[in-house]
Structure 1
């Protein structure tokens, strides 16, 4: 049975970046490891032994890696700011591939726009977040019916999403990272209006 360490996700696990996992292990497809959770992009400074949450994360990540392959085939996730795409690309590094399918739902881009951004040797599909969760947005983007996936467990759902994403061929207007920085809106304070 394939283990996390036999895939490109092993490095991220060793670095302590795979957090709040709903799934972190084999899927129903042989040789494939699935991950659903948060990916830490920037850690806070540690004081003594205390564990602090990351300063910046790519949240609600759905990703798959295959045994012996140096790249992630598929990743979808939520970024609070388009600007964090740079951090994500740096953290993933060699795990990115020109052939991979990478979908980023960003909180501070125009709700009516969708882009393709080439960065770090890969192409990212950058979309607004409208349905509140990456899971729902990804199903809608890939034309997957929730009812079809209802009977599947988490690993089966990740397989279904990754398989459908592999044949995604839609194209959006291209945008450079620098152009995206100029177009993005302010970063929302996620703790605003929350009781103390």
Structure 2
């Protein structure tokens, strides 16, 4: 198993996983990842995570994340997430963030690693990344979980998922109010 997935498993960082396994010759994960754990109420009860990377789609080799896309509730959570998983990011990886409180997009470098961040309003990371790399949702529905991630990753490798170059400080200046529409009982 990949060092990335071992780290996630050993530290109990997977949250509501829907897939962990092979992605062609690589490995993948779908679900959420804990960034900051919830409070421990008792030896066997813990509150949900304070901070999590949601709707994660991750592809990794033995040592590093080759591709990661996810939702963050706030761009303020980015530095905390980076610190938690820092060892597994690489300068040649592809990292696309969808952030609910961003009022603009951009590609920025953080400690030698390039990230692209887009606002996320009402859609899902899955729908947004498919649109970004020009894949049809209908075609993807016919595939199993492994094939979906593998097809997406193959397309990401040949697509340009970057946006206008900005500094990390420029990105922080784009933090606004969350525009994501909450669904549920009123």
Of 100, 103, 109, which residue of structure 2 is paired with 1:118? 109
Offset at residue 181 of structure 1 (A) = 2.0
**Aligned ranges 1:29-68 → 2 under 5 Å:** 29-30=24-25, 32-49=26-43, 50-66=45-61, 68=62
Compute the TM-score of the two structures, normalised by the length of structure 2.
0.90
Partner of 1:88: 81
- What RMSD, in angstroms, separates the aligned Cα atoms of the two structures? 2.1
Mapped pair 1:105 → 2:101? no
Can you give the 5+ residue segments of structure 2 that lack an aligned partner in the other structure? none
Say whether the 8 Å CA contact 1:74–1:101 is kept in structure 2: yes
Offset at residue 84 of structure 1 (A) = 1.1
Secondary structure, counterpart of 1:8 in structure 2: helix
CA distance in 1, matches of 2:172, 2:162: 21
Offset at residue 35 of structure 1 (A) = 0.5
Mapped pair 1:21 → 2:12? no
Note closer, same or farther for the CA distance 1:131–1:190 as it changes in structure 2 (3 Å cut).
closer
What do the CA deviations read for 1:117-147 (whole angstroms, capped 9, x no partner)? 2113211110111451000000000001112
Can you give the 5+ residue segments of structure 1 that lack an aligned partner in the other structure? none
Offset at residue 183 of structure 1 (A) = 2.2
Note closer, same or farther for the CA distance 1:154–1:131 as it changes in structure 2 (3 Å cut).
farther
Of 125, 129, 136, which residue of structure 2 is paired with 1:138? 129
CA distance in 2, matches of 1:81, 1:96: 20
Aligned residues, how many? 185
Secondary structure, counterpart of 2:46 in structure 1: coil
Secondary structure, counterpart of 1:38 in structure 2: strand
CA distance in 2, matches of 1:170, 1:94: 23
Offset at residue 97 of structure 1 (A) = 0.8
What do the CA deviations read for 1:151-192 (whole angstroms, capped 9, x no partner)? 111111011111111223354222222222222103469879
Secondary structure, counterpart of 2:42 in structure 1: coil
